[in-house]
Chain A
Amino acid sequence: DADVTQTPRNRITKTGKRIMLECSQTKGHDRMYWYRQDPGLGLRLIYYSFDVKDINKGEISDGYSVSRQAQAKFSLSLESAIPNQTALYFCATSDRGTITDTQYFGPGTRLTVL
């Protein structure tokens, strides 16, 4: 079984709809992240959480919100989706206890906003 899972894997929605992307992990890591990936722009950080009570904005948080329901779950919401939020979204985890803080990525959610 995958250590980091994301649901849904693909989603097509319309402008103005509320969307929630979910991430779960079985790695026991404290830190969780949400990124979006656009062609030619690389991975950009949306939000990150270092533990259940610690939520922080990343580089591009406008239009997004998150919820850390438990150590293993981190959800990303688009309150009112717009077409330029069409992208590939990745959740990632890392372990505070390691020196390198390597990130482990989920399989991604491809979101299309019409």
Chain B
Amino acid sequence: GQNIDQPTEMTATEGAIVQINCTYQTSGFNGLFWYQQHAGEAPTFLSYNVLDGLEEKGRFSSFLSRSKGYSYLLLKELQMKDSASYLCAGDYYGQNFVFGPGTRLSVLP
């Protein structure tokens, strides 16, 4: 299968910036999703990158490097409500999405 790796846990301070990294296998890769999931709730779509570079959407930005098999999600001006798990998912040709284990982000006051 396609391995998607991301850190298990991260901690950051309210108002700060945090970067959550994700690495993936490049063979058959089409694009990369980021989802946010609050505890006990459904994942919700944040972004989808298919081209190299940074895409900004308000306080959240997502970056992709296709040649390096690397993506990151950048969260600026952190708020307490940003405490959640962030799921990286690879979109591969001829396959369904492959999700990483998720990164649980704790935002501290």
Q: Which residues of A contact B (CB under 8 A)?
A: 4, 33, 40-45, 48, 58-59, 90, 100-108
CB contact under 8 A between A40 and B44, given known A45-B96, A100-B31, A102-B33: no
Contact in complex: A107, B8 (CB < 8 Å): no
CB contact under 8 A between A103 and B1, given known A42-B87, A43-B43, A90-B43: no
B55 to chain A, nearest CB (A): 12
Task: Name 6 A/B residue pairs within 8 A (Cβ), A-sorted.
Answer: A43-B99, A45-B96, A59-B1, A90-B43, A103-B97, A107-B42
Contact in complex: B87, A104 (CB < 8 Å): no
Interface residues on B, range: 20 to 34
Q: Provide the residues of chain B in CB contact with A106, threshold 8 Å.
A: 42
Contact in complex: A107, B1 (CB < 8 Å): no
Q: Provide the residues of chain A in CB contact with B91, threshold 8 Å.
A: 101
Q: Provide the residues of chain B in CB contact with A108, threshold 8 Å.
A: 40-42
CB contact under 8 A between A102 and B45, given known A41-B101, A42-B101: yes
A55 to chain B, nearest CB (A): 13
- B85's closest neighbor in chain A, by CB? A42
How far is B89's CA from A43's CA once the two chains are assembled, in angstroms?
Answer: 9
B49 to chain A, nearest CB (A): 10
- A90's closest neighbor in chain B, by CB? B42
- B1's closest neighbor in chain A, by CB? A59
How far is B94's CA from A79's CA once the two chains are assembled, in angstroms?
Answer: 29
CB contact under 8 A between A105 and B101, given known A58-B96, A59-B1, A100-B31: no
Contact in complex: A100, B42 (CB < 8 Å): no
A42 to chain B, nearest CB (A): 4
Q: Provide the residues of chain B in CB contact with A33, threshold 8 Å.
A: 96
How far is B33's CA from A43's CA once the two chains are assembled, in angstroms?
Answer: 13
How far is B43's CA from A68's CA once the two chains are assembled, in angstroms?
Answer: 23
Bits for B8-48, please: 1 = Cβ < 8 Å to A, else 0. 10000000000000000000000101000000111111001
A32 to chain B, nearest CB (A): 12
